[in-house]
Structure 1
Amino acid sequence: MISDVHLGTKGSKAKEVAQFLKMYSCENLILNGDIIDGWQLRKSGSWKRKHTRFFNRMLKMIERDNTKVYYLRGNHDDFLDQILPLQIGNLSILADMIYESNGKKYFITHGDIFDSVTTNLRWIAYLGDIGYTFLLWLNRLVNYHRRKRGLPYFSLSQYIKGKVKSAVSYIDQYEEELAKMARAKGCDGIICGHIHKAENRSIEGIEYLNSGDWVETMSALAEDEAGNWQLIYYNEINFRQKRTQEESIQEELPKINYQELKTVAFQNLQDDQKPPFML
């Protein structure tokens, strides 16, 4: 599961998220809101080829692995309200959903519906979006100089969120309210995004999971076959090692010589029925 990619903005890590999806396969891919940033596209954002590649990768997962994709509406892609709910093959576009796995139920929502500022005072939310965009611009400048000095990445916005008491209080209250909502819906856990803060913890017996974002954190949530959830961070993935492992698996697969295959049929095949290597 991924969320808050914000395609259409300068801060979006479109190349990284496309590479991440290319390296993994899954039965269900949940895009938990703010994948496309309609707010920025209506103002000063721009759509680029790398943003389109993200959806090309998603379509390949549907075709290659028969992956079921669930795109949940976020506040920045609220233009989806006009078509909800919609299902086309393995692609479903929804407001929210209940996910059941290994005897547990999870309520999955982007999370903005529980944000009274975003829901009721839209102009304040837009103002906050402008401030966050400025922080991202300043953050790129700061990290450009840090890279030149050989220093690791530093998130200015996360630092400010951690220092401002009102921001810390808001995040705590946000997480607690979502946990209450999950309990009210008879679910074992809640999975969300929205606040760009990846998390995997228990709140009074309710699993609280937040997939983070692909603007700074570059994180995703993954569930294993036993139903255990874990956070995966792009910067911690050894892509070179993973490619080597996949290449070694491919080398172990038996090589098929199609020229040696024999035709077995009760009658001769017509020309239009023959596979390409027999024409």
Structure 2
Amino acid sequence: MSQDSQSPESVSRVDGMPTFGLGTWENENPEQCAESVRTALEMGYRHVDTAQIYGNESAVGDGIAAADVPREEVFLATKVWIDHLDRDGVVESTEESLEKLGVDSVDLLYVHWPSRTYDAEETLPAFEELKSRGLVDRIGVSNFEPHHIEEAQEVLDEPIFANQVECHPLLPQAELREYVAGTDIELVGYSPLARGAVFDVPAITEVAEKHGVSEAQVSLAWLREKGVTAIPKATGEAHIRDNWESLGLELDEEDVATIDAIDRTDRQVHTSFAPEAWD
């Protein structure tokens, strides 16, 4: 089965990256993960995001292999965990990731967090080495604040393609969005449904009822209006499809203003190794 004939529209791309994708964080059951990836790809998704720490790279690879979609059409991203960010760790763990994924290269490789073994002057040249070897097409960072980005740019000769951070209507990341708007860096939003919290926000429900859609679709459409690439996790076909159909939802200025007025900074993902001074 190729792209779903009922899909609302094709996903736009920015420098090769589809601006909507499937997240796989906490999709840990191998059979379920592989099936969700296959289902999403055959529905029309073309961007799949995983990470070493998710423990599902093999299952993601199985799903890509099982889908009736050519590998070259799939934008595949993974992330190097914070225990592997020394030079040898980056190279060896990425080679292991490629083996698990069953691919020769990934379209985007992220530094997962600027933490633990991360050292810009050691970590980032290893990413460039992988790119020079053809194992990585683009270099990304994740959970970076502007000062982390600026430090990385001083070290790198290659451009930073994307910064992946938590982003949703309850954590709009306005300052970071403004910062990257002055660069060529794409913002990719994980947990774009605020781990389910968007379903309990009256303003989002109001917009959803106006359009006859789910709160999930409203949140994803709002992120698209803000220029953020969303990668919602979904396991079952119904949720995968509901998220996909957000591409057909057009919010008007009033809708966007209603969501902007929520004015909250409720971070849903908390870790002991997060950068200081998060919102």
TM class by smaller structure: 0.3 to 0.5
Give the TM-score normalised by the residue count of structure 1. 0.32
Which structure dedicates a bigger proportion of its chain to strand?
Answer: 1
Bigger-Rg structure (1/2): 1
